[in-house]
Each structure stands twice: as C-alpha cells, then as structure tokens.
C-alpha cells in the first residue's frame, strides 16, 4: 500500500480500539482502521487522555506529535511514522501507523551504536527540541529502517533536549545536515506552516535553534542546566 493510500485509510477508515499500551504515561491505544478490504494497525492517542505536564500547555501533545511528523516528512528523513489528526472513539487525537519492530535487535545495545539513521534521529531531535528520546522510542523494523515514536514533548520554547543519543555530541555537522537546516529556514512559515499546531513563540524558537545549529556548526552537547538523559532511559 503506498503512502497516499495509507493516509486515506488512517484518515477515513473506521477506527476501532483493541487494546492499550499500559506502560505509556498518556492514553496510548492500540487500534485498527478499516476501509473496505483494507486495514491497518495503528496507535491512537486521544487528547482527552493526555496527562497534564508542568512545562507544556494542556491538550497540545497530539499537535506536537503531528508537527514532528510534518517536520520529518518535509525534510524527507522519514523518521516519524505516518501520522494524522482525526476524531476517534474517545475524541480528537493523534493516529499513527504501527511499526512492527525487529525483535532480534537488542535495543539496549543498538541505541549506542554509530548507525547513521540514529545520527539523523539525534539531529532531528536537536531541531525539534525533543525532551524525551528514550531507548524504547527507537523502532528498527525488519527492512533495516529505523523509525522513532513518542514526540509529544517537542518544540518547547526553552532548550530542553533530553536524549539517549549523545554519541555524536560536539561532532561537526555534515554538509547534508546544514543543507537540511537551510532548507527548513527558507521554508518555515511558507511551504512549511506550523501555525495550527504550535504557538508563534514555539515556531520562532524552532527558527532560532536551526540558525544556532548552523552558526555553531556541530551537534549539540549535554546541557549542564537540564538533565540530558530521560528517566527511565528505556
């Protein structure tokens, strides 16, 4: 099934909840969408099930998840699985394609490798200001592709990068990464419009982060003013 067919299925198919991921702090529901003879497994996170956080406005996590998908899709780095916003059995929320991970990969070892896809994820997290990149949020599938999930606490105005992917800290940016940042800056507010999902302050902070990355010319380093690794790390 191609990406357009999947998007149509996620958007218009009948959404039926079949279970819940009990380890998630917010309501994270295992579901299926069905349209005619086509069906897909997905994750459904209703806004009504979001837990209040002290540093993020209430009811905004689904929009941040979708903004992360828009960023990943626009930059054509394919980190965030196909994601939409829609109504469901428990109200409006985020619906995301389920990724079947390769169970033969030991994530406890994999996360600290120099896999270039992990570097791209670390780069993506630096742009989106991800404050919760845990080991368990890495989704390597059997084709060798590595996705990432759980992007609800991203795009904060303050620098809050918190991740397990620090193996490239202070390393010079690649030319391809600088090109992506330049493309983002040239398109922000025009081709790439976040105004329905983020505040203007958050969009401006995204712009400043991207400009700073180009100016500094290297990957971020852990901040002494903020816990650099999420807890628990898995």
Give phi and psi for 129, each to the nearest 5. Answer: 60, 50
Residue 1's pLDDT is 87
Residue 25's pLDDT is 76
Q: What is the CATH number of the domain that holds 140?
A: 1.10.510
CA distance 151 to 72: 11
Question: Is 167 within the bounds of a domain?
Answer: yes
Q: How many residues does the chain have?
A: 234
Nearest by Cα to 130 from 102, 150, 115:
150
Q: Does the N-terminal peptide bond of residue 65 adopt cis geometry, omega within 30 degrees of 0?
A: no
Question: Is 197 within the bounds of a domain?
Answer: yes
Q: In the chain, how many domains are there?
A: 1
- Tens of pLDDT along the chain (234 residues)? 899 999 999 999 999 999 988 777 788 999 999 999 999 999 999 999 999 999 999 999 999 999 999 999 999 999 999 999 999 999 999 999 999 999 999 999 999 999 999 999 999 999 999 999 999 999 999 999 999 999 999 999 999 999 999 999 999 999 999 999 999 999 998 899 999 999 999 999 999 999 999 999 999 999 888 899 999 999
Host domain of residue 64: 3-216
CB within 8 A of 204, min separation 6: which ones? none
Residue 22's pLDDT is 76
Give just the sign of the alpha carbon dihedral 52, 53, 54, 58. negative
CB within 8 A of 78, min separation 6: which ones? 72, 145, 147
CB within 8 A of 216, min separation 6: which ones? none
Query: What does the pLDDT look like over 88-124, one tens digit per residue?
Result: 999 999 999 999 999 999 999 999 999 999 999 999 9
């Amino acid at each position: 099934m191609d990406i357009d067919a999947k998007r149509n299925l996620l958007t218009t198919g009948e959404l039926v909840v079949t279970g819940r991921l009990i380890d998630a702090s917010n309501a994270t529901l295992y579901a299926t969408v069905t349209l005619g003879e086509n069906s897909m497994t997905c994750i459904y996170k209703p806004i009504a099930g979001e837990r209040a956080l002290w540093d993020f406005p209430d009811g905004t996590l689904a929009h941040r998840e979708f903004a992360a998908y828009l960023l990943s899709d626009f930059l054509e780095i394919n980190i965030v699985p196909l994601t939409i916003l829609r109504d469901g059995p428990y109200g409006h929320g985020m619906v995301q394609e389920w990724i079947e991970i390769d169970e033969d990969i030991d994530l406890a070892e994999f996360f600290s490798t120099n896999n270039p896809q992990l570097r791209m994820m670390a780069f993506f997290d630096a742009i989106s200001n991800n404050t919760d990149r845990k080991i368990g949020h890495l989704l390597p599938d059997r084709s060798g592709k590595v996705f990432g999930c759980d992007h609800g606490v991203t795009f904060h105005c303050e620098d809050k990068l918190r991740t397990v992917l620090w193996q490239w800290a202070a390393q010079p940016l690649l030319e391809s990464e600088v090109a992506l940042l330049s493309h983002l800056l040239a398109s922000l507010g025009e081709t790439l419009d976040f105004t329905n999902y983020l505040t203007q302050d958050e969009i401006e902070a995204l712009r400043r982060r991207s400009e700073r990355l180009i100016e500094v010319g290297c990957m971020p380093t852990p901040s002494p003013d903020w816990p650099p690794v999420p807890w628990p790390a898995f």
